[in-house]
């Protein structure tokens, strides 16, 4: 294994990672490319070598980071649970418990981008819609499974429930931004728990 002073894939990934964090904290329009590269070990030349425009950076973040982050955070762990409904609640609880206080003011990166960019950029809108759809789809799969396994009432509209769960989770993060503590997160968790209990058999 030879040490290389250049590693393009790593450089690109590094820029993406830093940009993701900066955008998460300052918003896409609120952060400048200068600010991003200043947090980086590379310069503006490298940045524009990999991303022809700022928008392309944003699209790459959605495609190459956000999608995976969402799935790994909310969906992948559900595999481990016998009753997916329990899985959804347990994971939600765990995510709230382990949320860093310092991150609470910044909400959910997906929701942030949806709110900021959907109305002003159709490509962003479409890409973000795809992420949301996938998130809901996967949730629905597990909800259907729960229904088949007899954990959930047969008359529950699985699509509607999947949409509602994702909405609830996003919403609690959204309002959390304006208070800075976990009030809304726990409130949302307990309400969702009650609701799911009412739908369970």
Partner DNA sequence: CAGCATACATACTATCTAGTATGTTGTCAA
Partner DNA sequence: TTGACAACATACTAGATAGTATGTATGCTG
- Give the interface segment with DNA, choosing from 42-50, 68-76, 91-99, 143-151 (CB under 7 A): 42-50
The radius of gyration of the chain from alpha carbons, rounded to an integer in Å, stands at 19
- Among its own copies, DNA, none, what does residue 53 contact (CB within 5–8 Å per kind)? DNA
Q: What is the total residue count of the chain? A: 201
- Confirm if 6 and 14 have CB atoms less than 8 A apart: no
Half-sphere exposure of 165 (CA within 13 A, CB side): 31
Name, in order, each residue with C-beta under 8 angstroms of 118's C-beta and a sequence gap of 6 or more: 124, 125, 128, 129
Instruction: Scan for tokens 């509607």, then name that residue.
Output: 160
What does the alpha-carbon distance between residue 48 and residue 83 come to, in Å, rounded to a whole number?
48
Residues 132-151 that bind its own copies (CB under 8 A): 132
- Selected from 11, 21, 27, 50, the binder of its own copies by CB under 8 A is 27
Q: Is position 193 an interface residue for DNA (rule: CB under 7 A)?
A: no
55 interacts with DNA by CB under 7 A = yes
Report the partner that residue 35 touches, choosing among its own copies, DNA, none (CB closer than 5 to 8 A by kind): DNA
Determine if 159 is a binding residue for DNA (CB under 7 A): no
Q: Are 41 and 14 in contact (CB under 8 A)?
A: yes
Q: Contacts with its own copies in 57-96 (CB under 8 A)?
A: none
49 binds DNA (CB under 7 A): yes
Task: Give the three-state DSSP class for 121.
Answer: coil
Judged by the rule CB under 7 A, the positions of this chain that interact with DNA are 4-8, 11-12, 31-35, 41-46, 48-49, 52-55
Judged by the rule CB under 8 A, the positions of this chain that interact with its own copies are 25-27, 29-30, 105-107, 111-112, 114-116, 118-120, 125, 128-129, 132, 157, 159-161, 163-164, 166-168, 170-172, 174-175, 177-180, 183-184, 187-188, 190-191, 194-195, 198
């Amino acid at each position: 294994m030879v040490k290389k002073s250049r590693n393009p894939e790593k450089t690109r990934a590094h820029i993406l990672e830093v940009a993701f964090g900066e955008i998460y904290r300052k918003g896409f329009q609120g952060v400048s490319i200068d600010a991003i590269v200043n947090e980086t070990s590379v310069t503006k030349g490298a940045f524009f070598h990999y991303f022809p425009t700022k928008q392309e950076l944003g699209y790459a973040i959605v495609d190459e980071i956000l999608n995976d982050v969402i799935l790994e955070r909310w969906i992948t762990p559900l595999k481990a649970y016998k009753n997916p409904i329990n899985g959804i609640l347990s994971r939600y609880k765990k995510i709230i418990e382990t949320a860093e206080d310092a991150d609470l003011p910044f909400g959910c990166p997906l929701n942030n981008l949806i709110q900021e960019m959907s109305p002003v950029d159709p490509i962003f809108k479409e890409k973000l819609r795809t992420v949301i759809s996938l998130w809901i789809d996967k949730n629905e799969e597990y909800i259907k499974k729960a229904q088949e396994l007899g954990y959930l009432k047969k008359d529950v509209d699985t699509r509607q429930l999947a949409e509602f769960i994702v909405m609830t989770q996003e919403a609690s993060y959204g309002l959390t931004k304006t208070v800075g503590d976990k009030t809304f997160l726990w409130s949302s968790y307990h309400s969702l728990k009650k609701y799911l209990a009412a739908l369970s058999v």
